[in-house]
A and B are shown apart, each in its own frame.
Chain A
């Protein structure tokens, strides 16, 4: 005997489009969730079909973080909004030193959005979560009228557990500490810019979008006394260093020549009048640790695929005003200030 499907015909994932009924709470929404989300994400919590996920947590302190993902274009070299929504929140959780446990994902879909694109995004989200070993255990779907969204917005919320003895926080940088980064900066921002329809310059730069919790676990195992971790996403490296300096009430001195930047990223930045230090990243972290542990931490980072190009880029110094100073490639010194507004390309 076959079980009769609740739905008269399967969802047309090839040619169909999101319509208002997919967010209305009725049969169409149930079908979208069953035939797309549950199938792709498939885990014991989601399959229970409740409006919440029930699970037990290991001992330790809970960490929670949430992030709304709005990116244009939705698909870019090296990723898409689906994988980005997983990586972004896992990283925010992991920067506390936590092991990420579970994610929740909330989708805001625009009426008319092709179901085929949505299916691609959900598949990518599912794959990113599987690869990271972090299940998406609950979620939500809403549909907004055509013209009131930008295709797809995804908000993900993550929780994780910090093991005892780990105290990583943005206010723990101390004078004398060393500042490290796990690789080339600016890849994500330039990969996105290169895909903007009006800016198709020829480059093969891929986004660095990646979940960093595996790298962080190795780093913590080698150097439990890491003081600060932060992912330099929007606003780039410069903004992150300013945030940490401000939070800790210290200054920083970094060396431009030690900051890893791909040649293609430098070239694109030259062309557009941008500074790579302010360009977004999605698979990078800044780590600050005591000077005597820096070489160990660097070696550990370099031993991990996501830290192969890790580098020591500067030191924390005493400065209650919280300035970040940069020794330029040219031998001069200048402030690496907060980003004002957004970086806008120059006219000439």
Chain B
């Protein structure tokens, strides 16, 4: 496949693996956090870790918007369907994420709630147009990558004067999450030697917002594409920075990412959204200025204001290590629930739900070691 196969070339992979093996210093450890679930997925799907030297380890980060969505936000969406009878539209990943009481949107749908899986924000606009008698709520979720399409949909809804469409905004921002992880120093924190930065996010916000990582935390960043060769090349770039003692933001994904990002998309976002003072992230707790809400000018399109519901504070399932896994403190296999009661068929924690989640990636793409059974 043109433009895809080039980034999955086995020969180039071997050359990159050899270069990494030749350049790593055997006396030190290289712990590289891939922030994004897309990286985690690529690492597992293509077996990238197996091609790395033993002292280079990928540490999985919190970069899966589904995994970091707290239960309370799902509870809130479900309460809207229950109490206000709204039609709730959202992306497929979210359908099986466990909320309070092991409830999911899929179960709510089976029980009679009007929950619809959509593929793009344009579907939401179409549903609202086609069914004027229904109140349609779009449960918007995602990092900076999926935020501009939501902004466009909000502007479109306003321009068309759609009175039956509103937005439940769960868009979150990556730099504050990275800051939160790096701020957790000491025994609660994870020791990292480098960061593979989220490239799709950087197509929107550019590379500059990550400069605080080397400047304040002394850790190098490489904005890395999602193809397996991108990940490997980025790992090599990080190894070189670490070996040279450099601490910079480098851009491996230069074919799509620039320093300042997509100014048009940023303008749209600034027009429609404001930063929330605080927002809860699953596993990371409440992080200041880490999420977006609709600006006051668009209050009439804000589902939170149009359909107020009361939601009790929810608790994670006992024994679930998702919070520690999302912070890179534990590996999925260190969770007692992993592969026993928690599998993609029956996810207990969010990391097992989305294919971007570290646990789901571990489980789905694990290699087989007959001596230990299911590893």
Q: Are A198 and B345 neighbours in the complex by a CB distance under 8 Å? A: no
Given A198-B119, A330-B46, A332-B51: A347 in contact with B13 (beta carbons within 8 A): no
Choice from A251, A319, A337, A347 contacting B65 with Cβ under 8 Å: A347
Residue in A263, A333, A348 whose CB lies within 8 Å of B146: A348
A9 contacts partner chain B, Cβ-Cβ < 8 Å: no
Asked if B364 is at the interface (CB within 8 A of a chain A CB), the reply is yes
- B355-375 interface (Cβ within 8 A of A): 355-356, 363-368, 370, 373-374
The residue from A319, A331, A333, A335 contacting B10, defined by CB atoms under 8 A apart: A331
Q: Are B50 and A348 in touch, CB under 8 angstroms?
A: no
A331-B47, A332-B51 in contact; A347/B66 too (CB < 8 A)? Answer: yes
Q: Which residues does chain A contribute within 8 Å of B365, judged by CB atoms?
A: 334-335
Interface bin, chain A: 20 to 34
Contact B228 A330 (CB under 8 A): yes
Residue of B nearest to A330 (CB): B46
Chain B residues within an 8 Å CB radius of A321? 368, 370, 373-374
- Judge if A344 is at the interface, Cβ distance under 8 Å: yes
Residue of B65, B119, B141, B200 touching A199 (CB-CB under 8 A): B119
- Whether the pair B368, A348 counts as a contact (CB closer than 8 A) is no
B38 CB–A CB distance under 8 Å: yes
Asked if A332 and B65 sit within 8 Å, CB to CB, the answer is no
Q: Which of A77-85, A105-113, A156-164, A266-274 contacts B (4 or more CB under 8 A)?
A: A266-274
Q: Which residue of B lies closest to A345 (CB)?
A: B92
**Residue B145, interface by CB 8 Å:** yes
Cβ < 8 Å to B, chain A residues 313-343: 319, 321, 323, 325, 328-335, 337-338, 340-341
Contact B355–A330 (Cβ < 8 Å): no
Determine if B80 is an interface residue (Cβ-Cβ < 8 Å). Answer: no
Cβ of B192 under 8 Å from chain A: no
Q: How many A-B residue pairs have CB under 8 A?
A: 107
Q: How large is the interface on B (under 10, 10 to 19, 20 to 34, 35 or more residues)?
A: 35 or more
**Contact, CB under 8 Å: A334 / B44:** yes
SS of A interface (majority):
loop
Find the A residue at minimum CB distance from B90.
Answer: A347
Q: Does A346 sit within 8 A of B, measured CB to CB? A: yes
Interface members, chain B 322-357 (any A CB < 8 Å): 343-345, 354-356
Chain B residues with Cβ under 8 A from A337's Cβ? 363-364, 366
| Interface flag for B163 (CB, 8 Å) | no
Interface of B is mostly: mixed
- B356 engages A346 (CB within 8 Å): yes
The answer to whether B95 touches A344 (Cβ under 8 A) is: yes
A341 CA / B355 CA spacing, docked (Å): 12
Q: Which residue of B lies closest to A267 (CB)?
A: B1
Residues of A within 8 A of B373 (CB): 321
B1 A346 Cβ-Cβ under 8 A: no
User: Is there contact, CB below 8 Å, between B10 and A346?
Assistant: no
Neighbour of A198 across the interface among B14, B46, B96, B118, CB < 8 A? B118
Contacts of A325 in B (CB 8 A): 367-368
Are B145 and A334 neighbours in the complex by a CB distance under 8 Å? Answer: no
B228 to chain A: which residues have CB within 8 Å? 330
Contacts of A319 in B (CB 8 A): 368, 370
Query: Is A333's CB under 8 angstroms from B46's CB?
Result: no
User: What A residues does B305 contact at CB under 8 A?
Assistant: none
B-side contacts of A272, CB under 8 Å: 119
B110 within 8 A of A: no
Given A334-B365, A347-B65, A347-B91, is A328 in contact with B46 using a C-beta cutoff of 8 Å? yes
The reply to whether A347 and B142 form a contact with Cβ atoms under 8 Å apart is yes
Q: Are B145 and A328 in contact (CB under 8 A)?
A: no
Q: How far is the CA of A329 from the CA of B343 in the complex (A)?
A: 26
Is the beta-carbon distance between A331 and B14 smaller than 8 angstroms? yes
Interface contact B38-A330, CB-CB below 8 Å: no
Taking CB atoms, residues of chain B closer than 8 Å to A331 are: 10, 13-14, 47, 51
How far, in angstroms, from A302 to B8 measured CA to CA in the complex? 29
Selected from B13, B91, B123, B370, the residue in CB contact (under 8 A) with A330 is: B13
Mask, A281-323, CB within 8 Å of B = 1, is 0000000000000000000000000000000000000010101
Given contacts A337-B363, A347-B91, 4 further A-B contacts (CB under 8 A): A267-B1, A331-B10, A341-B345, A347-B141
User: What are 18 contact pairs spanning A and B, CB under 8 A?
Assistant: A319-B370, A321-B373, A321-B374, A329-B10, A330-B48, A330-B228, A331-B47, A332-B50, A332-B51, A333-B47, A333-B50, A334-B366, A337-B363, A340-B364, A341-B96, A344-B95, A345-B92, A347-B146
Chain B interfacial positions (CB closer than 8 Å to A): 1, 4, 8, 10, 13-14, 38, 44-48, 50-51, 65-66, 91-93, 95-96, 117-120, 122-123, 126, 141-143, 145-146, 200, 228, 343-345, 354-356, 363-368, 370, 373-374
Residues of chain A at the chain B interface (Cβ within 8 Å): 198-199, 251, 263, 266-267, 270, 272-273, 319, 321, 323, 325, 328-335, 337-338, 340-341, 344-348
